Amino acid sequence: MFRFILRRLLQMVLAFFGTTLIVYALMFAGQGDPIQALAGERPVTAAQRAYLTEKFHLDRTGVGGFFYRYFDYLRNLLQGDLGQSLTGRSIGDILAAAWPVTVKLALIAMAVTILFGVTAGVLAGIRRASIFDNSTLLLTLLVLGIPTIVLAPLAQYLLGVRWQLFPPTAGADPDLYALLLPGIVLGSLSLATALRLTRTSVAENLRADYVRTARSKGLVKRRIVSVHVLRNSLIPVVTFLGVELGNLMSGAIITEGVFNIPGVGFNLFRGIRTEDGPLVVGIVSVLVVVYLVSNLVVDVLYAVLDPRIRYE
């Protein structure tokens, strides 16, 4: 187990540098005129252009310029300095302010997914072809069919503005209640998938040989389902949830925008829109680490759920 984790950690280092290189190259290649992008439609003065060009080495172009800027970035990164955004703010500060609220939102979405998705999935799996099963099937189909860009403003308008059940936006320092609506919206997509996954998995395991054995031994149904079936059915669900957690941590660009939550997705979107290369690369570098770690955790969890899985 220990060797497995160590090996994975070493692989992560490689993966990290590989992805930052790719992201940096993409930003570099896609960059038009970041100084003008920052100014929008206002004219840019020569003084301002010269100042930013020198500060961010924007005059270094071509392959040589790329490697110069990339290694400059890496050197600072290894010293724990993520650099400055084009507006002069420290990217470390931006991320420190953005993470807590994104993590909170992700956890709420995750809780919604697990609480409703997995529970309903188990129930639907046990009562296959019942009214409950069919209606959840229909409902999940509906949710999966509506993109967040429709679902989020709709929920905001109906529940926030029309009926005033929730505050329409959450803001920068929201309480748990304000985050609930965006959390539910964000969680509803993974909820639908988790429900489907759990249902299929439970339904399949219920027909397995070991369940028949357990039943013929005279075990009560509750024990069969909660101890034997659930544990075996959760492996695909945990894989999905692990990847999903990484997704949620990367910030939901649309949901955070609609509910005005200045989290990671919100900043990433701004960075892309204003061609703020340092900001985008900084956020993505941290996101890569989040993904790698959450994948590692999922792999370790397999061994806990299924003792047959051994890591060397």
Partner 1 sequence: MRVRRLATWTALPLAVTLGLVACGSGGDGGSGESNPDAAVRIEIAEPQHLVPTNTNETSGSQVLAALFSPLVDYDEANKPYEVAAESVTSEDNRTWTVKLKDGYTFHNGEQVTADNYVDAWNYGAYAPNGQNSSYFFEKIAGYEDMQGENPKAETLTGLKKVDDLTFTVTLSQPYSEFKTMLGYTAFYPMPKAAFSAPGVLAEAYEQAPIGQGPFKMKGTWQHDAKVEVEKYDAFPGEKPKVAGVEFRIYQQPTAAYADVLSDNLDVIKTIPTENLSTAGTDLGDRFKQSPASSLQVLAFPTFQKEFSNPDVRKAISMAIDRDEITKSIFKDSQQPARSFVSPVVAGYRDNTIGEAGEFDPAKAKSLYRAAGGPARIELSYNGDGGHKDWIDATCNQLKANLGVDCVGTAEPKFADLLTKVKAKQPVGLFRMGWVMDYPSMENYLGPLYSSNGSSNYYGYDNPEFDKLLAEGASAANEDEAVRKYQAAEDVLAEDLPVIPLRYGQNNFGHSTRVTNVEMDLFDRVDLVEIEAVK
- The residues in 73-112 that bind partner 1, with binding defined as CB under 8 A, are 87-89, 93-94, 97-98, 111
169 binds partner 1 (CB under 8 A): yes
Return the range that interacts with partner 1 (CB under 8 A); candidates 2-10, 76-84, 113-121, 197-205. 113-121
Q: What is the rounded distance in angstroms from the CA atom of residue 279 to the CA atom of residue 86?
A: 8
Tell me the angle at which helices 119-126 and 230-249 cross, rounded to the nearest 10 degrees.
Answer: 150
Q: Which is nearer to partner 1, 259 or 291 (CB)?
A: 259
User: How far apart are alpha carbons 208 and 230 in whole angstroms?
Assistant: 13
Give the CA radius of gyration of the chain: 24
Q: How far apart are the first and last CA of the chain?
A: 6
Judged by beta carbon, residue 246 or residue 263, the one nearer partner 1 is 263
CB of 291 to partner 1, least distance (A): 24
Between 155 and 298, whose beta carbon lies closer to partner 1?
155
Residue from 158, 39, 31 nearest 87 by CA: 39
Nearest to partner 1 of 262, 282 (CB atom):
262
User: Which of these segments, 133-141, 174-182, 198-206, 280-288, binds partner 1 (CB under 8 A)?
Assistant: 174-182
Q: How far is the CB of 295 from partner 1 (least distance, A)?
A: 23
Which of 32, 16, 50 is CA-nearest to residue 277? 32
Beta carbon nearer to partner 1, 180 or 237: 180
CB of 6 to partner 1, least distance (A): 30
Dist CA 82 CA 72 (whole Å): 11
Q: How far apart are CA 63 and CA 68, in angstroms?
A: 9
Beta carbon nearer to partner 1, 74 or 305: 305
**Residue 77 in contact with residue 215, Cβ under 8 Å?**
no
Give the C-alpha separation, 76 to 92, whole Å. 12
Which stretches of the chain bind partner 1, using CB under 8 A? 32-34, 36-43, 45-48, 50-52, 55, 87-89, 93-94, 97-98, 111, 114-115, 119, 153, 156-157, 160-161, 164, 167-169, 171-173, 175-177, 180, 226, 257-260, 262, 266-267, 269-270, 273, 275
